[in-house]
Amino acid sequence: MTFKDKTLIVLTGPTAVGKTDLSVNIAYKLNSEIISADARQFYKELKIGTAAPDISHLQKVKHHFVGHLSIFDYYNVSLFEQKALKVLEGIFQKTDYVVLTGGSGLYIDTLCHGIDHLPDAEPEVRQRIKQVYTKEGIEGIRQWIKQIDPVYYRQVDLGNPNRIKRGIEVFLSTGIPFSELRKQQYKERPFRIKRIIINRDRDELFDRINRRVDLMVKQGLIEEAIGFFKYRHLNALNTVGYKELFSWMSGCHDLKYALEKIKTNSRRYAKRQLTWFKRYEDARWFHPDQQQDIMGFIRQKS
């Protein structure tokens, strides 16, 4: 089925920039629905630390892929691609627009174009591999790649840890062995794509990040993290906001330091996101207050 007259609106930007409110307002005006591409918000148990949409957002516009997983579930970007395309097809049968929003660049790229043959891994994935390499050495990651991708294990230079790590990070990011992924081609989608990146001045953005962390603490972030401390080994919890508090609970430093690290790491994450989004040559950049201009861009036929 083709949807050549249908449009997927990709509305993205760095953390805390204001994507949630804007995407809900736009989807409401277009009588559309929202697909989330925020991997942190996939997990139903994690509400405060992921800044998940609140009940007012969810009631105003139907959301997909928000709180649909448990932290104990296995998930990867390949499963997201398959399920999100089916959801898109269903929405496009009812309306001309769908809003894809979130800050996880890998998930955005996968839905728009399929899995790239060389996907970039999230920092959390690379840190996980680094920890194994530091603890178990090259033999540890050799056995790891042998288990998840025996074909690549036979092809890779087993004396080159960087190439072994690459194979592991690709698998952890996509759920597909590197040996298979290298055979795939860029996919054309049967719908139009319009990319919108919202951003703010650096000082304004960083101030919003700092204030959001303070708000999360008031809402119960520390208590939420304490409740999941025993599950800190799970990949879903290896993310900004939780891992800093887990370090505090483990006695590595005091609470004040942990909260400052959350702010620092959130600002660093925002900068990494912006670096990723700058690759989108066909995107239009706006301040989130330019909602009228954004709507005009969306309705342009070209």
For residue 1, pLDDT over 60 is answered with: no
* Average model confidence (pLDDT) across the chain: 92
**CA-wise closest residue to 241 among 112, 251, 230, 228:** 228
Of 134-138, 152-156, 197-201, the least confident:
152-156
> Per-residue pLDDT tens for 64-75?
999 999 999 988
Distance of CA 291 to the CA centre of its chain: 24
Give the pLDDT band of residue 156 (cuts 50, 70, 90): confident
What H or E segment, with its residue span, contains residue 195? Answer: strand 191-198
**CA-wise closest residue to 225 among 260, 262, 257:** 262
Distance of CA 299 to the CA centre of its chain: 27
DSSP letter for 269, please: H
- How many residues can be counted in the chain? 302
> Per-residue pLDDT tens for 76-116?
888 899 999 999 999 999 999 999 999 988 899 889 988 65
Q: Provide the H-helix boundaries in 61-149.
A: 77-92, 105-113, 123-148
Two structure tokens written together for 267: 């600002």
Rg (CA), the chain: 20
* Beta carbons within 8 Å of 282's beta carbon, 6+ residues apart: 193, 195
For residue 241, pLDDT over 80 is answered with: yes
- Are the CB atoms for 249 and 226 separated by under 8 Å? yes
Domains of the chain: 3-117+186-200+273-299 (3.40.50.300), 123-181 (1.10.20.140), 203-270 (1.10.287.890)
Q: What is the pLDDT of residue 184?
A: 58
3-state secondary structure of 5: strand
DSSP letter for 30, please: T
Cα–Cα dist 27/15, whole Å: 20
> Per-residue pLDDT tens for 26-65?
999 999 999 999 999 999 999 999 999 999 999 999 999 9
Burial of 70 (0-12, 13-18, 19+ CB in 10 A): middle
Taking CA atoms, 130 is separated from 36, 167, 212, 242, in Å, by: 29, 13, 30, 19
What H or E segment, with its residue span, contains residue 207? Answer: helix 202-219
pTM here is: 0.82
For residue 119, pLDDT over 70 is answered with: no
- Are the CB atoms for 97 and 70 separated by under 8 Å? no
